Amino acid sequence: MIALVLAMFAAAAGVWIAVLTMLNAMWMLHTTLIKPKREGPLVSILIPARDEEERIGACLDSLLSQDYQRTEIIVYDDDSTDATPSILADYAARFPGRIRAIRGKLEEGWYGKPHAMQRLSEAASGGWLFFTDADTVHKPDSVSYAAGLAEHYRADLVSGYALHKIESFGEAVTVPSIYLLTMALMPTWLSHRRRMPALSHAIGQVMFFKAETYRKVGGYAAVAREVSEDVRIARLVKRAGGRALFADLKEHVSCRMYEGYRAAVDGFSKNVYDYFNKRFALLLAVTALVPVVFFLPLAGALWLPEALRAAQPWFRLASLLVFYAWGLVTVDRALPWYIPLVYPLIFVNTLSAAWRAFRLFATGRAVAWKGRMVK
């Protein structure tokens, strides 16, 4: 009886995951139909950079080719220890009036990225602020597409999924965890339609703000000590009465988030536990739930003793639905073809990263990221 109840629960969860994933994929496709807007107020393109010598050149080259008519590019060198400052100086000399580099050091009471973003916004003149990471590469219509989305949906903030490049197996079994929220919990098509802050999603690779709204909510100073500063500030936008839109940006922005398994684990360790609001009870509940919904159905679909065979069709349905959801995400987000076959490893790595962060924080330590400690 218990096995049958668990199997039916897993099947119901599978239906939810499959339907939500399908609806989110349809919404992502819908947002790609919006036309770019190439004219309008000045857009300040703002890039935080710390030790980005291998990536900042490609990022700047792509942003220099934007087809939006009025832009300024400002890069914040966050006390880099590599060749980033000299690269920025070279670009500023070669493109005077188009690229400006400013330099600073982390101040007490801040995490690195919110501090860099705030200093960038203070140097910006635009009516719109286009924050983007130094490891992104942009198509010529990246800014104009974001502007078109903002106008069409009357959004105060536009963010979304870039094309996440995966170039190793270690990345393949970690990076797709970024999609788990929109597979299981977040209806992205409701984000800009509902004022509920909880229905907010954002990813810091692209954050396109109406400058007036950004300053109204206090900018990144309001999330100075937040690890997931992107999601937190999106919630602030909605609390202030603004609209936060989450869209498909993969045809316009690409990014290799992490280079290899170790870097991915470090990166997700600082973020995943924060998504649980650093609540041990919530982390424990999710850890108990994941095997029931994702691992037990796989085992039960393959074999059960004769006395429990009544549960097997439900386990098989649950497994099929989850496999379908991962297949849909794989196609929608242009992931490696084998992702649906290794999704259990993605859950294992995601939970392992969360528990690693919990252990570190519980013992007074922190996660090391780009030479700084985050907790």
User: Which sequence spans correspond to the domains of the chain?
Assistant: 2-25+267-374, 30-262
The pLDDT assigned to 371 comes to 65
pLDDT score recorded for residue 110? 94
Amino acid found at 50 = R
pLDDT of 268? 83
d(Cα 225, Cα 196) in Å, to the nearest integer?
23
CA pseudo-torsion sign 102, 106, 111, 112: positive
Burial class (CB in 10 A: 0-12, 13-18, 19+), 162: buried
Contacts 24+ apart (CB under 8 A), 102-110: 102/74, 102/75, 102/76, 102/77, 103/76, 103/77, 103/79, 104/76, 104/77, 104/78, 104/79, 105/78, 105/79, 106/78, 106/79, 106/372, 109/224, 109/225, 110/224, 110/225
With b for 16 or more beta-carbon neighbours within 10 A and e for fewer, the 301-321 pattern comes to beebeeebeebbebbbbbbeb
pLDDT of residue 357: 85
Q: What DSSP assignment string belongs to 83-114? A: SHHHHHHHHHHHSTTTEEEEEE-PPTT--HHH
Give the residue among 155, 355, 333 at the shortest CA–CA distance from 257. 333
Beta partners for residue 246, in sequence order: 159
- Say if residues 224 and 192 touch (Cβ distance below 8 Å): no
- Check residue 347 and give its pLDDT: 94
> Given this model, what pLDDT does residue 375 score?
65
Residues 6+ positions from 192 with CB-CB distance below 8 Å: 153, 155, 243, 244, 245, 246
User: What is the model's pLDDT at position 366?
Assistant: 67
- Structure confidence at residue 131 (pLDDT): 98
- What is the torsion angle, in degrees rounded to the nearest 10, for the CA atoms of residue 368, residue 205, residue 264 and residue 182? 120
State residue 302's pLDDT score.
87
Helices (H), 32-81: 56-64
CA distance linking residue 46 with residue 73, whole number of Å: 6
Q: Average pLDDT by consecutive 10-residue portion of the chain (375 residues)?
A: 89 97 97 97 98 97 97 96 96 96 94 96 98 98 98 98 96 95 94 92 97 98 93 96 97 94 85 80 91 91 83 94 97 96 95 88 73 67
**Looking at the domain 30-262, which fold is it?**
Spore Coat Polysaccharide Biosynthesis Protein SpsA; Chain A (3.90.550)
What DSSP line would sit under 101-154, residue for residue?
EEEE-PPTT--HHHHHHHHHHHH---SEEEEE-TTEEE-TTHHHHHHHHHHHHT
Q: Are 134 and 140 in contact (CB under 8 A)?
A: no
| Buried residues in 15-44 as b, exposed as e (16+ CB within 10 A) | ebbbebbeebbebbeebeebebbbebeebb
Q: How far is CA 168 from the centre of its chain?
A: 19
Q: What is the DSSP letter of 309?
A: G
- By the 8 A CB rule, do 146 and 130 touch? yes
Say what the pLDDT of residue 213 is: 98
Reading the block at residue 179, the tokens are 């999609």
Contact criterion met (CB below 8 Å) for 234 and 200:
yes
